[in-house]
A and B are shown apart, each in its own frame.
Chain A
């Protein structure tokens, strides 16, 4: 059974940093693109970042470029999102989501339960 379990959320002050982790199991982690998607309270879905199977390609939504870094550890089957210079508008539930294995990188077929990140003083 495919499982994605996020950890590391919480309350942080504006300008602070936080690292999210996503532990994957039940599939060959190194064969799939991985993504982070967020959802602000009461709002819609926003794609944040993705990373290729071997970590050689990464992409971000403009609003987080230069502040967030996506990475992965294919030995530990884990995905990470390092978030720096956090702003109030980054407050959201952050989901880890599995992408496809080829050109279907954007097909998000499994999602974690989500982790709330609150940026507030």
Chain B
């Protein structure tokens, strides 16, 4: 199984900050990498697919990058609604696997 490792597991940031979350795969997954946002008590929401493609309706302050084993999710200017937990997911093969999550909290 492909292991996905996210870092950091949590971070504190202020409104307007630039936030970067990284995700590393245990083997090369090309660009088969998605990012999700989850708020407490809610279902996850797809933000980025194929490593860098923005899902429809998602604000442009979210961006994704990387390929192979190393990926990143960047929020260019943190907004109040962005405080949530973020997960990466590989879709290179099954079992589909998620990273452990990164909780973004208010500083």
A sample of 17 more A-B contacts (CB under 8 A), given A95-B43, A105-B91, A109-B49, is A44-B87, A44-B98, A44-B99, A45-B36, A45-B38, A45-B89, A45-B98, A46-B98, A47-B89, A59-B94, A104-B91, A106-B34, A106-B89, A109-B46, A111-B43, A113-B43, A114-B43
Chain B residues with Cβ under 8 A from A113's Cβ?
A: 43
A61 to B97, CA, bound (A): 9
Does the CB pair B46–A108 fall under 8 Å?
yes
Q: Does A14 contact B (CB under 8 A)?
A: no
Q: Does A50 contact B (CB under 8 A)?
A: yes
Chain A residues with Cβ under 8 A from B106's Cβ?
A: none
A60 to B1, CA, bound (A): 12
Residues of A within 8 A of B (CB): 35, 37, 44-47, 50, 59-62, 95, 104-109, 111-114
Chain A residues with Cβ under 8 A from B32's Cβ?
A: 106
Interface residues on chain B, number (Cβ under 8 Å): 24
Chain B residues with Cβ under 8 A from A95's Cβ?
A: 43-44
Chain B residues with Cβ under 8 A from A47's Cβ?
A: 89, 94-98
Chain B residues with Cβ under 8 A from A111's Cβ?
A: 43-45
A59 to B98, CA, bound (A): 16
Chain B residues with Cβ under 8 A from A50's Cβ?
A: 94, 96
8 contacts between A and B (CB under 8 A): A44-B100, A44-B101, A45-B36, A62-B95, A104-B49, A106-B96, A109-B46, A111-B44
Chain A residues with Cβ under 8 A from B38's Cβ?
A: 45
Q: Does B55 contact A (CB under 8 A)?
A: yes
A106 to B88, CA, bound (A): 12
Does the CB pair A59–B95 fall under 8 Å?
yes
Output the least CB separation between A82 and chain B (Å).
19
A99 to B68, CA, bound (A): 22
Query: Residue on A with the closest CB to B99?
Result: A44
Output the least CB separation between A49 and chain B (Å).
9
A108 to B50, CA, bound (A): 12
Cβ < 8 Å to A, chain B residues 1-39: 1, 32, 34, 36, 38
